[in-house]
Amino acid sequence: MRCEEIHPHLADHLAGSLLPDVAEQVADHLRGCPACAAEAEGLQDTWQMLGTIGPHTPDSTRMRARFAASLDGFQGGLISGPPEGGPYIVTRRFSRVSAYALQFAAAAAAIIIGIAIGRQTAPAPATTPDAQLTMLRDELREMRQMVTLSLLQQTSASERLKGVSFTNQIEQPDSQVTVALLDTLMHDPNVNVRLATIDALKPMSTRDVVRRGVIDALPRQTSPLVQIALIDFIVEKNGREAADTLRRLSMDDMLDAAVRARARQGLQQIG
């Protein structure tokens, strides 16, 4: 076997998948060729070093929550899947919604709000069915959710801030909105948006996914303001399940001293 014939076999040699007769030929060549032997040894070292690198560990809890929300949405017919030629992510659902679509949604929401106000202020005819009002409320709620999700995807921080504030107007936001808010808390580059998101999540603090999401977000934040606001949230909602996270933060020398102190205090408060 010649030197140039060895190269295709080295990958198999490293993976341990050489056939016995070929392995023998490769070994024979390596014994007699110092250059190829040195190269094989170097590649073997690199191969072994690669084996010492552990995998990147995902935040499986959050990913499961997002996946579950996506699956629910798909099964419920809310999501039709990714657009052709582009990625599709549930919290980025409206990333491709144009300004026109957003304006249309806002106009439609305004009309529905107008109708709702009109119906409530006008003397109700005796024949108005309750079902119609319920339907109207549902439509209004869905429209608000759509506008919120659209705003949360805007590039302007002030628009995203509006989106976060808009969630206050939604009665019982569904899982899509909840997941979008948690995603904003985790990834939004703007501190003010993240702080507003913490406030927006407070009314939903009885939901497990929100409590878990807030606790998961805490060690990932870099802004002391956001870290302290999250600790306040946890203490306010008596989040005993966050005790380990708070303990770790209270001992982390890399963190701002005020954050460490607040974590220590929070730990005492939740008992």
Partner 1 sequence: MLTVTDEALMMAVRDGDLAKLGLLFERHHAALFDFLTWMTGNRSAAEDLVQDIFLRILKYRVTYRDGGSFETWLYRIARNARADYFRTREPLEPLGVEALSRPEPGLNPMRRLEADRDQARLKRALLELREDKRELIVLTRFRGMSHQQIAELLGIETGAIKVRIHRALKELRDIFLTLSDGNPSCDVKKSTRTLQII
Which positions lie near partner 1, rule CB under 8 A?
Answer: 7-12, 14-15, 17, 39, 42-43, 45-53, 55-60, 62-64, 66-68, 70-71, 74-75, 79-82, 85-90, 92, 187, 219, 248-249, 251-255
Nearer to partner 1, 42 or 114 (CB): 42
Nearer to partner 1, 86 or 118 (CB): 86
Smallest distance, partner 1 to C-beta of residue 160, A = 16
Our measurement of the distance from residue 162's CA atom to the centroid of its chain's CA atoms, rounded to an integer in Å, reads 20
DSSP 159-170: HHHHHHHHGGGS
Cβ neighbours around 133 below 10 Å, total: 14
Nearer to partner 1, 7 or 137 (CB): 7
Smallest distance, partner 1 to C-beta of residue 56, A = 4
Rg (CA), the chain: 28
Nearer to partner 1, 53 or 126 (CB): 53
Smallest distance, partner 1 to C-beta of residue 80, A = 7
Quote the CA–CA distance of 26 and 35 in Å, as a whole number: 13
Smallest distance, partner 1 to C-beta of residue 88, A = 5
Smallest distance, partner 1 to C-beta of residue 219, A = 7
Nearer to partner 1, 110 or 251 (CB): 251
Quote the CA–CA distance of 195 and 199 in Å, as a whole number: 7
Smallest distance, partner 1 to C-beta of residue 83, A = 9
Please report how many Cα atoms fall inside a 13 Å half-sphere around the Cα of residue 204, on the Cβ side. 27
Quote the CA–CA distance of 55 and 133 in Å, as a whole number: 53
The structure tokens listed for 56 are: 């990147």
Residue 183 phi, psi dihedral angles, 5° rounding? -65, -40
Residues 100, 101, 102, 107: is their CA dihedral positive or negative? positive
The structure tokens listed for 105 are: 């949604």
Q: Is residue 215 a contact partner of residue 246, using CB atoms and an 8 Å limit?
A: no
Nearer to partner 1, 25 or 165 (CB): 25
Nearer to partner 1, 31 or 64 (CB): 64
Nearer to partner 1, 130 or 253 (CB): 253
What residue type is assigned to position 168 of the chain?
Answer: N
Smallest distance, partner 1 to C-beta of residue 150, A = 17
Smallest distance, partner 1 to C-beta of residue 202, A = 25
Element of type H or E holding 153: none
The structure tokens listed for 174 are: 């569904």
What residue type is assigned to position 123 of the chain?
Answer: P
